[in-house]
């Protein structure tokens, strides 16, 4: 099944999501009932669900970049997962199965392009698997949110969350909107409640609100190869290996894309920057945080051979092609080129265990009790986004009595 969208309509959808709908200066502040921090697909889906349920409340979504959904939501394989890999009955399995159904219904309703191309050849067939541009879907969520009355503020990096200081006598604003979210430029948004969907920065957002620093986020970069156009005939659908249950990564696979290209891979290596999509991207704080974390140290020591192998395959693509040939023997080194990369926000505990399921929690105290954090939303978060949004909205309503 294929849904298409012409180039004019495609560009029009992007144009309907403005970069920002309000301007906050260092001398002013705005007030809202609920602030959502993070403009990726989970934040946008959750903000959309909340405002559709509570149209009389005021909502703001804060995003640190100039545009929405430019990191994990815009650097993924673009697959609509069926959920067959995940432990039966687990939160991942339940959310993915429900989310995929909701995603297809949403795409049909909005007329967004996708292909239900399936997965499997001489193996387990999964005809329900599809591909889509998840960033395009994210922007559609953002459009829904704004059309329902929500406010989007970009270039607003939350650096502090605190209780509003005592207001002058007779001014009750601080009592009604007690949480102040400030950025590094001195701008301030005040609200009653906060939902954070920070992806690669979810642990840091938790810390600035006074909540638990764990699980910690360690960034893993996945480098893809791309199949040369003249060899596209080799891949007619998604081809995935059975994943190793010891690791959350799916291993190398073949992924057709909506633009007609075919991605091969990825590997999984430690990124030297949380949003480092290139081999030499480096951030001292991100790198130092990762190396000093006992959980990562234990993970490396327990999986040294696997890690070295992933690094080797990242440098010498012939080694990666050798693995890919197990699935398509006709493939050769001359058929591929280096392609794009993504960074996965992998949650780890202090014992070096990979946190493979979704994690949602809040905190205690004046600030923590008014915040709900989406701490870990690993793949298939995009596929599950609408189902996750329903669960998040349920939890927000329960915790904050909306």
Residue 170 is predicted with a pLDDT of: 54
CB 147 within 8 A of CB 139: no
The pLDDT of 244-264, averaged and rounded, is 80
With CA atoms as reference, report the closest residue to 38 among 186, 174, 204, 276: 204
pLDDT at residue 114 greater than cutoff 50:
yes
More confident of the two residues 88 and 174: 88
- The dihedral built from the CA positions of residue 154, 160, 164 and 168, taken in this order, carries a sign that is negative
The pLDDT of 244-252, averaged and rounded, is 63
pLDDT class for 23, splitting at 50, 70, 90? low
Residue 17 is predicted with a pLDDT of: 52
Residue 89 half-sphere exposure toward CB, CA atoms < 13 A:
0
Which of 24-33, 125-134, 187-196 tops mean pLDDT? Answer: 187-196
Extract the runs of DSSP E, i.e. beta strands, from 316-370. 336-348, 354-355, 359-362
CB 367 within 8 A of CB 205: no
Please state the pTM of the whole predicted model: 0.90
CB 371 within 8 A of CB 38: no
CA distance to 99, 153, 182, 370, 372, per residue, from 211 (Å): 29, 24, 17, 11, 10
Query: What is d(CA 246, CA 151) in angstroms, rounded to the nearest whole number?
Result: 42
pLDDT class for 128, splitting at 50, 70, 90? confident
The pLDDT of 178-195, averaged and rounded, is 95
CB 359 within 8 A of CB 198: no
Phi, psi of 92 (to 5 degrees): -60, -50
Convert the pLDDT of each residue in 314-343 to its tens digit.
889 999 999 999 889 999 999 999 999 999
CA distance to 37, 76, 240, 317, 318, per residue, from 313 (Å): 36, 20, 18, 6, 7
pLDDT at residue 242 greater than cutoff 90:
no
- DSSP-assigned letter for residue 391: H
What SS3 class is residue 100? helix
Residue 101 is predicted with a pLDDT of: 95
- DSSP-assigned letter for residue 40: S
In this structure, how many other beta carbons lie within 10 angstroms of the beta carbon of residue 9? 12
Convert the pLDDT of each residue in 134-152 to its tens digit.
999 999 999 999 999 999 9
The two three-digit tokens of residue 102, written as one number: 């909701």
Lowest model confidence (mean pLDDT) among 26-35, 308-317, 365-374: 26-35
Query: What is d(CA 23, CA 184) in angstroms, rounded to the nearest whole number?
Result: 15
Query: What is d(CA 364, CA 297) in angstroms, rounded to the nearest whole number?
Result: 30
What SS3 class is residue 321? helix
Query: What is d(CA 221, CA 259) in angstroms, rounded to the nearest whole number?
Result: 23
Convert the pLDDT of each residue in 196-241 to its tens digit.
999 999 999 999 998 988 999 999 999 999 999 999 999 988 888 7
CB 333 within 8 A of CB 321: yes
pLDDT at residue 6 greater than cutoff 50:
no
CA distance to 18, 84, 177, 243, 285, per residue, from 34 (Å): 20, 35, 9, 39, 30
CB 79 within 8 A of CB 255: yes
pLDDT class for 103, splitting at 50, 70, 90? very high
């Amino acid at each position: 099944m294929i849904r298409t969208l012409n180039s004019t309509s495609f560009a029009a959808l992007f144009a309907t999501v403005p970069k920002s709908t309000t301007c906050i200066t260092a001398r002013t502040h705005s007030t809202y009932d609920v602030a959502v921090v993070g403009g990726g697909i989970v934040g946008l889906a959750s903000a959309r669900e909340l405002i559709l349920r509570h149209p009389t409340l005021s909502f703001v979504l804060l995003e640190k970049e100039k545009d929405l959904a430019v990191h994990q939501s815009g650097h993924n394989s673009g697959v609509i997962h069926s959920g067959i890999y995940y432990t039966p009955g687990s939160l991942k399995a339940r959310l993915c199965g429900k989310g995929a159904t909701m995603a297809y219904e949403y795409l049909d309703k909005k007329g967004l392009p996708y292909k239900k191309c399936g997965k499997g050849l001489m193996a387990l067939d999964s005809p329900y698997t599809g591909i889509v541009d998840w960033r395009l879907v994210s922007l559609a969520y953002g459009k829904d949110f704004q059309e329902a009355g929500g406010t989007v503020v970009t270039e607003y990096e939350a650096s502090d969350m605190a209780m509003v200081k005592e207001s002058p006598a007779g001014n009750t604003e601080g009592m009604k909107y007690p949480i102040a979210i400030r950025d590094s430029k001195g701008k301030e948004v005040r609200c009653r409640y906060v939902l954070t969907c920070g992806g690669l920065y979810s642990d840091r957002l938790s810390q600035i609100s006074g909540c638990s620093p764990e699980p910690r986020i360690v960034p893993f970069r996945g480098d893809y190869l791309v199949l040369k156009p003249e060899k596209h005939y080799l891949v007619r659908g998604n081809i995935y290996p059975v994943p190793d249950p010891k690791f959350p990564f799916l291993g190398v696979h073949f992924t057709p894309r909506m633009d007609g290209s075919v991605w091969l891979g990825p590997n999984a290596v430690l990124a030297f920057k949380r949003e480092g999509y290139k081999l030499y991207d480096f951030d001292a704080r991100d790198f130092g945080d990762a190396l000093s974390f006992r959980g990562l140290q234990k993970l490396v020591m327990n999986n040294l051979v696997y890690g070295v192998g992933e690094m080797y395959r990242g440098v010498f693509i012939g080694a990666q092609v050798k693995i890919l040939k197990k699935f398509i023997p006709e493939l050769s080194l001359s058929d591929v080129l280096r392609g794009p990369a993504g960074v996965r926000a992998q949650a780890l505990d202090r014992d070096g265990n990979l946190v493979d399921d979704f994690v949602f929690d809040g905190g205690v105290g004046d600030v923590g009790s008014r915040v709900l954090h989406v701490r870990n939303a690993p793949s298939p978060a995009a596929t599950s986004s609408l189902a996750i949004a329903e669960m998040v909205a349920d939890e927000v309503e329960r915790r904050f009595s909306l």
